[in-house]
């Protein structure tokens, strides 16, 4: 008989409450009740009504062991997204771990802006490139929500691309027109895309080298995907400078950044012959710059 068949003597409802208490006592969790539910749901592999139906069932030995491992990781400060191993982004449920940044709501907005630009420029599909894709969140969302589009994902980190490939496999037929290439920014792209891209979108590193970050970010998320020089603009400068030869004549580039950086990026775009607009995130903070050709 396997461990899965060995019922314990405690119900999942009691373990849920015990988990909430452990998370609360750690002092590292803002919403212990919600996270306790997420962890128990993940262990059980169910949500919604089925989850409530199983709370009075007795836990298995293996289930308790998995729960304990997840709670221990969380109370030591590991982000809940990495503990669960997946996280929602728009319509997707993405694999995430410490090889990639945690997908965030502000980036969901950036993905939506990129889709608006793509539909404006090419309602039948077009070509969109997600540079520095990480988990694939932006590019795979475009592939899922913009049928007919060709989507290219790139990253300089092969570890990150392994996560993106796993997430690509998870979107099924929507991923049939997705390509993945390894390399730094535009250097990753095959020559055939020069002058043919409708939209370039990126959530590049934009944190200054000396900025203080929360421990949950600084100690767990990949630093190479966060920091970009003394002013946080190293990668943004490169993206703006190199975009022109890759974009179609009416193409656009959509860049996520810190609210304090939008003015500088608008100036960089203007110097390169682009017109730009600033777009806000869900909190009303300037979050993205959209650069378009003067003639567009």
Class of domain 103-293: alpha beta
User: Residue 5: what pLDDT?
Assistant: 44
User: Residue 7: what pLDDT?
Assistant: 55
The domains spanning 3-77 and 103-293 adopt the same CATH topology:
no
* Chain-centre distance for alpha carbon 39: 20
DSSP letter, residue 286: E
Phi, psi of 124 (to 5 degrees): -90, 0
- Topology, domain 3-77: Helicase, Ruva Protein; domain 3 (1.10.8)
Mean pLDDT, 10 residues at a time, the chain of 296 residues? 54 97 95 97 93 93 96 97 98 97 97 97 95 98 97 98 98 96 98 97 97 94 96 97 95 97 96 95 96 73
Per-domain boundaries in the chain: 3-77, 103-293
User: Residue 48: what pLDDT?
Assistant: 87
The DSSP bridge partners found for residue 93 are 88
* Chain-centre distance for alpha carbon 281: 15
Count other C-beta atoms under 10 Å from residue 30's C-beta. 8
Residue spans of alpha helices (H) in 76-136 = 80-84, 105-121
């Amino acid at each position: 008989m396997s461990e899965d068949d060995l019922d314990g003597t405690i119900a999942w409802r009691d373990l849920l409450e015990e988990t909430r208490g452990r998370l609360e006592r750690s002092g590292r969790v803002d919403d212990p009740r919600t996270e306790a539910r997420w962890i128990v749901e993940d262990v059980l592999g169910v949500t919604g009504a089925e989850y409530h139906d199983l709370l009075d069932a007795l836990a298995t030995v293996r289930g308790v062991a998995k729960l304990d491992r997840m709670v221990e990781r969380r109370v030591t400060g590991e982000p809940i997204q990495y503990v669960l191993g997946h996280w929602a982004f728009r319509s997707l449920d993405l694999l995430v771990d410490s090889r990639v940044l945690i997908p965030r709501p502000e980036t969901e907005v950036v993905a939506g802006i990129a889709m608006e630009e793509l539909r404006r420029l090419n309602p039948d599909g077009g070509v969109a490139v997600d540079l520095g894709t990480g988990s694939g969140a932006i590019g795979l969302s475009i592939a899922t929500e913009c049928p007919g589009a060709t989507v290219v994902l790139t990253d300089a980190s092969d570890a990150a691309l392994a996560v993106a490939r796993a997430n690509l496999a998870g979107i099924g037929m929507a991923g049939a027109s997705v390509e993945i290439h390894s390399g730094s920014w535009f250097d990753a792209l095959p020559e055939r895309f020069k002058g043919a891209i409708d939209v370039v979108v990126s959530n590049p590193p934009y944190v200054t080298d000396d900025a203080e970050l929360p421990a949950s970010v600084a100690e767990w998320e990949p630093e190479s995907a966060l920091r970009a020089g003394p002013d946080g603009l190293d990668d943004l400068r490169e993206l703006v400078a190199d975009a022109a030869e890759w974009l179609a004549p009416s193409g656009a580039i959509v860049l996520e950044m810190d609210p304090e950086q939008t003015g500088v990026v608008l100036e960089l775009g203007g110097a390169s012959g682009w017109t730009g607009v600033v777009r806000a995130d869900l909190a009303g903070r300037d979050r993205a710059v959209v650069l378009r050709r003067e003639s567009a």
